[in-house]
Structures are given as C-alpha cells and as structure tokens.
Amino acid sequence: MSGSIIIYVDDENWIFDENISVRLIKCGRERCLSSKTEENGNRHYYSLHYVFQGEGYIVVNKEKYKIEKGNIFLIRVNEDIVYYPDRNNPWSFVWADFIGDNMDMVFTKCGLEKDKHYLKPKTPKVGKWFEEMLDVYFERGQNLESTVLLVHILSRLVEENSYSVSRSVDRIVREALIFINNNYRIEITLDLIAKSVGVSPNYLVNLFSSEVGFTPMKYLMMYRIANACDLLREDKYNIKQVSTKVGYKDQLYFSRCFSVIKGIPPRHYNEKCMNDDPWSFVKISNIDFDDRKGNYL
C-alpha cells in the first residue's frame, strides 16, 4: 500500500488557505537510449522527474523546451505533453508518480507555475533525495518513508523558490496596489485582488496590512474617497455622479464611506475641508508612486 501524507496548516501567515495531501503511487529510474520514441505524458496523476545524466526535450502546447542534467521537470494531471531524449546525449532520470490535493498551489510555490514545466534546483542534494526515495521504494515497497522523501523534495523546492514564486513582499504588495489603482472604478472584492497577485486572501490581508498599515479593502475605500475629493473640488459633478465615477453604485453607501474616511458627508467637503490633502494616507504609508493611475517609481 502506498504511503500517504496529509499536511495540516494552522498559521494565518501561510500562503495557502487549504491543507495539502500527497500520496506516492510509484517511482522508478529510466536510462533512455537515443532510439527511444516520444512518450505522451497525458495521465491521471502527477509525475516529477529529476535528470541525472544527458539531455532531453518536452513539448507543451507546441512549445519545445530543452531539459538538461540537474533539471527537474513536471508532468501535470491530464496534461498534453510529449517528452523524449536527445538523440546524441540521451537522458537518464528518476521519476515519482503521485496524487494529492491542492498540488497546483504547491507547484506554484516550488517555482513551477502553470506556464512553467521545469527548473534547476539550487541544492545539489535534491538529486540524492530522489535516489534515496527510489531506494526506499524498491527495498520496502510503496510506503510512508518514500513519500516522506518526496514531500522533503517538494518542501526544499518551496524553500528555494519562495522568494521568486511569492515574488517578494514588496512585489506582491506593489502589484496589489497597482491592481486596485487601475480598477477602483469597478466592483472589486478581496478574492479578486488576491487572485490578481496569485496568493490567498488571508495571506494578502496579513502581508498588505503589515506593509501598508491597513487592509486592501480599506486601502480601496481610501483610494476611492481620495479620488472623490478631487472630483468634488472640480465642482462640476453632483454627488451621484461622483459616486459612480469612483466605483460606488449606491450613492447612500458612498456617502457613508465618505463620512467614515473624511468625518463629514461629501456635500460639505468643499466648504469645510478647503485645506485637506485627500492623498495624505499615501504619504503616511510611504506608498511610492508618481501618479494616481498605478504607475510606480
């Protein structure tokens, strides 16, 4: 019986909301001849390969990628992919077939986003762990220990690539700010913002709040109201028009939000807040952009 591991996460800063499960189906080694024909990777499980020697190619969506010694390449469930060895320098690799829940998020965290199919691990020991996984598998059959080694490989890839996959704190927050600034006129949800930057809503809230000082939805409200203040000062739009222009369909709700941020209703803004700087929250939060359209310095 194959080993199966379920990872339960209880950490509000974890980038994934869901728990992870991994079940190894089988693993093996292949030393290919130059005459080996193409293989189609379309299957009902994931397959992770580590190339020990030689070279080969994978073809996905008519795009061909050269895979070299020391590379890992991934075949996803039901993925239309073809792979074959280089005719002059055929590859040898160890592979692991497995299934699991929420694996796409794990692969993304590893550095294997949906449009990426291979990478070169920074840790030389990754190849050794593939061999150990294979040895354990053949010595004792499909068991927990070989699955542990597979999870260890994945976790090391996550550790190596977390800076590039999560794209650093600064980049995630910056992309979220740009998304809000460019789309504040339409209906935006927290889920939509998080999806746009490729992280979970909980993770984005914690990260954004830590860096900016308030949540993404609070920033959205403040950004909308700051734009509303600018429009009110132009003195050519009524309250309903201003409300619509900054993303509020309901004029009464807009007025309530305006009062929460500015302390007075919008109809009194020009009269009582002549010296107000509606963009002071940007300066206080040290948000560095050169205009209000999402173009950052």
Question: 4-165 has which fold?
Answer: Jelly Rolls (2.60.120)
Where do we find the tokens 């690539």? 161
Query: How many Cβ atoms are within 10 Å of 122's Cβ, its own excluded?
Result: 11
Full 3-state SS string of 17-78: CCCEEEEEEEEEEEECCCCCCCEECCCCCEEEEEEEECEEEEEECCEEEEECCCCEEEECCC
Rg over CA atoms, the chain: 26
User: pLDDT tens digits, the chain, 297 residues: what are they?
Assistant: 455 666 554 444 444 445 788 889 999 999 999 888 888 878 899 999 999 999 999 999 889 999 999 999 999 999 999 999 999 999 999 999 999 988 888 898 888 888 889 999 988 889 999 999 999 988 766 578 899 899 999 988 988 876 554 445 577 888 899 999 999 999 999 999 999 988 889 989 988 998 888 899 999 999 999 999 999 999 899 999 999 999 999 999 999 999 999 999 999 998 888 888 898 888 766 565 544 444 443
Eight-state DSSP code of residue 296: B
265 burial type by CB count under 10 A (0-12 exposed, 13-18 middle, 19+ buried): middle
DSSP 166-227: S-HHHHHHHHHHHHHHHHTTS---HHHHHHHHTS-HHHHHHHHHHHHSS-HHHHHHHHHHHH
- Classify 87 as helix, strand or coil: coil
Q: Report residue 80 CA to chain centroid gap.
A: 23
Tokens of 238: 């009524």
Predicted model pTM = 0.54
Q: How high is the pLDDT of residue 95? A: 95
Domain ranges of the chain: 4-165, 170-284
CATH superfamily of 170-284: Homeodomain-like (1.10.10.60)
Q: How high is the pLDDT of residue 294? A: 45
Which of 126, 134, 105 lies closest to 7, judged by CA?
Answer: 105
**Is the Cα torsion angle 8, 13, 14, 17 positive or negative in sign?**
positive
